Structure 1
Amino acid sequence: MEQVIRTNVGLDMAKATFWASICVLTLRGEVECRGSREFSNSKKGFKELEKWIKEHDANRAELHFTMEATGVYHENMAHYLYGKQHHVHIVLPNKAKKFAESLDNKSKTDKLDAKALGQLGAERTLVGWSPASPTFKVLKSLTRERASLIAIRTQLKNSLHALKHSHEPNAGTLKRTKSMIQELNTNIKSIEKEIASIVKGDEALRDQLAYLTSIPGVSLLTAVIVAAETDGFSLIGNVRQLCSYAGLDVKIVESGKWKGRSKISKKGNSHIRAALYMPSLSTARYCNQHKVFYNRIVERKKKPMIGVTAVSRKLLILMYTLWKSETLYQEDYPLKKAS
């Protein structure tokens, strides 16, 4: 049997079951699929997967597991494998989709998706995954819950506005809508208090967040959202990677003499982009440095929204820099540095 450099198990996760496909990278640089099988998405299925891998003698080479982020259905498997000290890789769905399309498969099934993920992890060196810290995991859950409740509240407020201006609205409907809005307000305030309590009880986290909130326009909630979504910037190696993760990287479209319109990719964490929108508007108005930057962009591009997006990107990079350097924001820093 030919020597194997790397063994990767592609996992296509679903709610009740998942498909696994064992792929190996040989010394000649070829990728071979050694077998595929369906398992239940449970602890029992996870143990059966390990047994099946041993039966295929796949533990001789370095063993990797690759899956795509599918809502929450992949999380239990990822934590289970990480706890077993395996190499775990979680790729974005669009990346997995593009790779699968390059294989020129005419069909699309869970089995083929698992095989494509197996080939992807065998061929390429992917970034390793590790669980978020317990504190940031809780904060991420709370901030996302809050965002969901705010979205629902906005819908209800719009409905209430329409009802009030309609002809002879039903009194019971108005009462129930107002009651639901009030209930949401109570729950949102409760979540915000819980977030503040967690931050207050963690001195190290409180000090780190103070660097971010020293930026004009950045509130505690904004700082918490960005820190939680990036796990305290622990997996971010540079500014370019950060912007790509947040979907604020610039996508250039051009071919020959034709020049398309450049725009941000939006293929990243939408929660970060949403959290930075209002602070960007605020800092572009009240912070002299960002105001000059915003006006320069708008003057050149003629579109205010492009200026706001540019400020969001600049703000995110600034937050990353202050977090890593453990420094408070200084508005006249460039002038001090020049002198």
Structure 2
Amino acid sequence: MDYYAGLDVSLREISICVIDADGKSIARGCCPADPEGVAGWFRARSLSPKQIVHESGQLSIWLQRGLERLGLPSVCIDARKAHKSLSARPNKSDAADAEGLAQLARTGWFTPVHVRSETSDGLRCLVGARAQLISLRKDLEGHIRGILKTFGIRLTGIGKGDQRQVFRDQLASAGERDPVLRAIADAFICAHATICQAAADLDRAVKENAEKHPVARRLMTIPGVGPIVSLSFVALVDDPARFRRAVDVGAFLGLTPRRYQSGEMDWSGRISRCGEGHAKHVVEAATALISRTRRFSALKSWAVRLAGRRGFAKAAVATSRKLAVLMLTLWKNETEFKWKERAVA
């Protein structure tokens, strides 16, 4: 007889429920929150489930990879959609959720989640770590400005490289006015220098990885697409074969409008924004293409004309969707962006 298992995963333990093909509960229990613990729990009871289902969450990626390495037929499903089914139960508990997930495994009424490769996750973490350090640096600089304005001290703007050293020099000069400001300046100067150096190191690592990555290197031939955008896109998509049509990547990144249709009502709203936070880099690439890229291309010409007709904001979203489709197409075809000479009248 076929058996189906549901795993309700928490940080310390996993609640397990196994049911048969008729939906009857066969076994229940808990095990440590690790793949070996799950495999050991099934071995101890001589159970070989046909399908194991668990929800997406903090440990889902690590757990899914571990279960696959152990040869267990596991599937990670969308937690938001599973919640619609599990919330129909009057009582909420880990054991009840595990049973509900087992029932979903039996009926097949679930949406699998693509678990990215470790390589893609590494690139995603690298880009995210760089962005986090830059955010910390900006927060620190803004906090320093706010403190000094209380004493009537206004610092000049911050650019790149040496100008950040000028900012620290100004902060040191401001600290000479008061012992309290001196203590604050000493601590903040050290923290600011450390964060700037760490951000510069990660920025260098991002550029090096983009130059070495064959796909990212091809994507950077597109106007407006640089190391950050190319690596973010590669990390998000992971496997281009996931998309049967290249235009589907726009919806994946949350760049397509929402639609609501019921009876005689049918309207389209703003973009869904269902994609991950890294999808914003594609919009930044579109903005750079429209406003900062100087070299002529048919893509830039189209984007500029659209901005003139519909406004910059809508043009940036439409251009980012077109860029995403173009990047996926180049990835699948293993080609580079082809520049065209400006037409002569």
Identify whether the pair has TM-score above 0.5, normalized to the shorter chain: yes
1:152–1:34: structure 2 CA closer, same or farther, 3 Å change rule?
Answer: farther
Structure-2 residue corresponding to 1:36 = 28
Q: Which has the larger radius of gyration?
A: 2
| Uncovered stretches (5+) of structure 1, i.e. residues with no partner | none
2:285 equivalent to 1:279: yes
Residue in structure 2 matching 1:173, options 184, 188, 212 = 184
Structure-2 residue corresponding to 1:12 = 8
Structure-1 residue corresponding to 2:323 = 315
Give the drift of 1:220: 1.6
- CA deviation map 1:172-203 (0-9, x unaligned): 33443343232222112212333344455x5x
CA contact (8 A) 2:56 2:78 kept: yes
2:227 equivalent to 1:217: no
1:21, 1:212 → 2: CA distance? 46
1:130, 1:324 → 2: CA distance? 20
2:87 equivalent to 1:87: no
Other structure's SS at 2:240 match: coil
Structure-2 residue corresponding to 1:51 = 43
Give the length in aligned residue pairs: 310
Other structure's SS at 1:217 match: coil
1:146, 1:306 → 2: CA distance? 28
Q: How does 1:1-150 map to 2 (within 5 A)?
A: 4=2, 7-26=3-22, 31-42=23-34, 45-52=37-44, 54=46, 57-59=47-49, 63-71=50-58, 73-101=59-87, 104-124=88-108, 126-127=111-112, 132=117, 134-150=118-134
Structure-2 residue corresponding to 1:252 = 259
Identity of aligned residues (%): 17
1:32–1:145: structure 2 CA closer, same or farther, 3 Å change rule?
Answer: farther
Residue in structure 1 matching 2:246, options 239, 247, 250 = 239
- CA deviation map 1:132-164 (0-9, x unaligned): 1x5333222211211222222222222223223
C-alpha RMSD of matched pairs (Å)? 3.0
Give the drift of 1:165: 2.1
Other structure's SS at 2:8 match: strand
Task: Output the TM-score relative to the length of structure 2.
Answer: 0.77
